[in-house]
Amino acid sequence: MEVISDFFQAIPYDQILIQTLNGIVTGMILALIASGLTLIFGIMDVVNFAHGELFMLGAYIGVVVLATSGSFWLALVLATLVVAIIGAALQITTLRPLIGRDPLTTILATFGLSLVLQNYALWQFGPVARKIQEPITGQFTLFYLEYPWYRVLIAGLSAAIIGAFWLFLKYGTYGIWIRATTQDRVMAQAMGIPVPWVHTAAFAIGAGMAAASGVLFAPLVGVNHSMGIDWVLKAFIVVVVGGMGNLGGSIAASIFISLLEAYASIWVSPAQAVIVSFVVLILTLLFRPTGLFVPTPK
Amino acid sequence: MRFGGLMALDHVNFEIQRGEIRAIIGPNGAGKSTFFNCLTGVLRPSEGRILFNGENITGFPPNRISQEGIARSYQITNILPNATTLENVRIAAQSRRHGWSMLAHHSAYHDLIGKARAVLESVGLRSKANELAANLSHGEQRNLEIGIALATEPELLCLDEPTAGMSAAETHDTMALVRGISKNLTILIVEHDMKVVMELAHRITVFHYGRVLAEGTPAEIQQNPRVQEVYLKT
Amino acid sequence: MTASATAKVPLVEVEDIHTFYGKSHILHGVSLQVGRGEVVGLLGRNGVGKSTTLKTIMGLVNPSRGRVRFEGSATTGLPAHRLARIGIAYVPEDRRIFRLLTVMENLRTGLDRRGVSEARKQELLDKVFAYFPRLAERRNQAGGTLSGGEQQMLAIARAMMLEPKIILLDEPTEGLMPRMVSQIREIIEVLHREGVAILLVEQNVPLTLETSQRVYIMEKGVVRHQCAASELRVNDAVIHQYLGV
């Protein structure tokens, strides 16, 4: 009897609660990044290795706008717009000419872009990490614990952005264009949908979403040129586990994996907790390669 | 042959005699390719057996089917583009040799090369022996496909739409080619080109919605009212 | 051009096109014409290049030689989405409706164009739902849940949303039961009455001869025969030669 009550007493309830919240927050940011990635892959079969750098660029632009204007919200909006435009320009110049070629060429192109962007940031901003001040400070009390408001804000805003995007896809005129192009590029063209521009717009939207996550996440860590690398790796894992091209799947997978990692970090160091994502990835590829959250293919 | 809920082949009974040239015709989706794929080991039939020379070969993988003596050409040209025409055929001929010698240079296999040249002659590509296969015209590539299949010394040669994408002139040449090689072979052809079918085949089998609709000589098939209906969709 | 001159220019003109799929030389110099408001049949066995001809007109495949003209201007090499906007609609052989979009959303892909008022959009929708009541019933269902015949109706309705001057119809009756085949015949007649031209690729010879004004017959990548539909009977020698067994 004592063993059982000892066991229950040993469970760190407060840590589990905190980590649940952390997991959800990280999960929502990851979901925002992964949504853009899966949109780009789903619509034009491009594996965007530069996605983490778009995240990083967003954070840096946020730093710059915040420094000049003092407004976090302005930084968020401007960074999203600017990176969306940059994304569109990149797609038009480097990816459009590669349509119809071996998929390996687009992988190389986006990988090359990521190197260029990282080194540009290093050159432009230097190796020292920048800091962004959170727009809302302070914590709220949950039971007997304190949890930062800002983190809750991140989760809420990310969810709002993803929600808005989902509504746009479902009900907007151009949302239908994106969905039609994703399903059947050729017939979309035959219906008068200007597919090359839909591709550009989708890339821009994905880039904008990555940038927004960058600005939102920046106050929690330092902004530096290599901050995108870890995130893009996790985002790819999420996209595969969630089912490539499956928006709902990536969101579910983001939260799932982030929660698992957060719980794991109660007992092991965060660096080791990352192993969890890889284990989930390997298991998914072995047993349900089309995605954990995708109905079993017949 | 059942794919999920779809009966691609429905109780198909089929016999072909040695030395025959048989054509398989039928509308799109009638099951011709599925039938070919079952015969050549690409698909395993859900039910039923395939007997070759009295031996049960149902479910054998394609490489084993080739060893048994059934060769196949494909609808989408399947040659090695970066090898020469001669090499394409030689590699196929080599599959009949069971020994492995890692140390002998490939040019030591004189008899194999001789055989490959003979095959090239029979498909009219002798003059292109040292040409890269990628540089051949479409018609020549299709004939090379037939040559590759021939080089494996088959007893049964399965040709999948050999004249697809060919002009009338190239079709005529291929027909002559097939007639020329048919002497010691049994040949099964899937075709849409009726001229080829009527002139080459000894017998014709008509597939429709996964079943055999009719079988007979070209004259019989031409006069068969059901076949006419299916083809003219009355 | 004067009004009478435009009336004489054929709506669609295909001049000596050669089209390849990789190395496969599918079209060996196809030439044909479709006049304004005409229903033209394109007959021939499988594999002769009928679908490829339609795809070339629609800009989904580029010919290596030859020209395609629409209303007198060259359109060869223009992307398909431009052609859809100037008045060419395409209904492919396997229908290819957007399976994950609802019936309504499928129609909207053609309906949401610039320069079309909301009132006109509603008119078009009402018209198409009147012709295809089954589609009206299923308007919020995903395209993939429709039966084969209903998907064919949807594919044609979707093309009609573009208000095209010509519809390229590829084997609309394939795989349909006789009752649906009659419905297709009716739809072709309705479209013809409204002045929409149709280039109809079909294996169904009686249907084609009944609905077309002229027919072309293809063999091995070229047009071998053309005449008025009234000059041919189903059991004509020409039909047997190029389509029969």
Model confidence pLDDT, tens digit, residues B21-59: 999 998 877 888 889 888 888 888 888 888 898 888 888
Tokens 């044909």 sit on residue? C32
Q: Hey, which chains touch A, using 3+ CB pairs under 8 Å?
A: C
Q: Which residue has the higher pLDDT, C203 or C215?
A: C215
Tell me how close the Cα of C6 comes to any Cα of chain A, in angstroms: 25
Residues of chain B with C-beta less than 8 angstroms from the C-beta of C41: none
Q: Which tens digit of pLDDT belongs to each residue from B90-144?
A: 888 887 765 566 666 665 577 888 889 999 998 989 888 898 998 888 888 889 9
B165 near C CB under 8 A? yes
Interface test with B, best of C20, C23, C171, C223 (most B CBs within 10 A): C23
Q: How many CB pairs under 8 A join B and C?
A: 65
Task: Tell me the residue type at B86.
Answer: L
Sign of CA dihedral A213, A214, A215, A220: positive
Ramachandran angles phi, psi of C89, nearest 5°: -115, 150
What strands lie across the sheet with C12-21, from one edge to the other?
Answer: C24-34, C12-21, C65-70, C73-74
Q: What pLDDT is attached to residue B99?
A: 57
What phi and psi, each to the nearest 5 degrees, are found at residue A212? -60, -40
Cross-chain residue pair C25–B29, CB shorter than 8 Å: no
Mapped onto helix, strand or coil, the DSSP state of residue C65 is strand
Q: Sign of torsion, CA C205 C211 C216 C220?
A: negative
For residue C4, pLDDT over 70 is answered with: no
Q: Is there a contact between C81 and A183 if contact means CB atoms under 8 Å apart?
A: no
Mutate: best of C54, C98, C140, C154, partner A, most A CBs <10 A: C98
B205: nearest Cα among B19, B21, B64: B21
Residue bearing the bigger pLDDT, B1 or C189: C189
CA-based nearest distance C100→chain A, Å: 8
Interface A:C, Cβ pairs < 8 A: 63
Share of chain C above pLDDT 90, in %: 72
Do C87 and C38 form a contact (C-beta atoms < 8 A)?
Answer: no
Closest chain A residue to the Cα of C82, Cα to Cα: A192
- C243 closest CB neighbour out of B28, B137, B231: B231
B194 vs C244: CB contact, 8 Å cut-off? yes
Q: Where residue B9 falls among pLDDT bands split at 50, 70, 90?
A: confident
* Torsion, CA B149, CA B155, CA B156, CA B161, rounded to 10: 30
pLDDT above 60 (res C5): no
pLDDT value of position B102: 61
Can you tell me the mean pLDDT for B172-183? 89
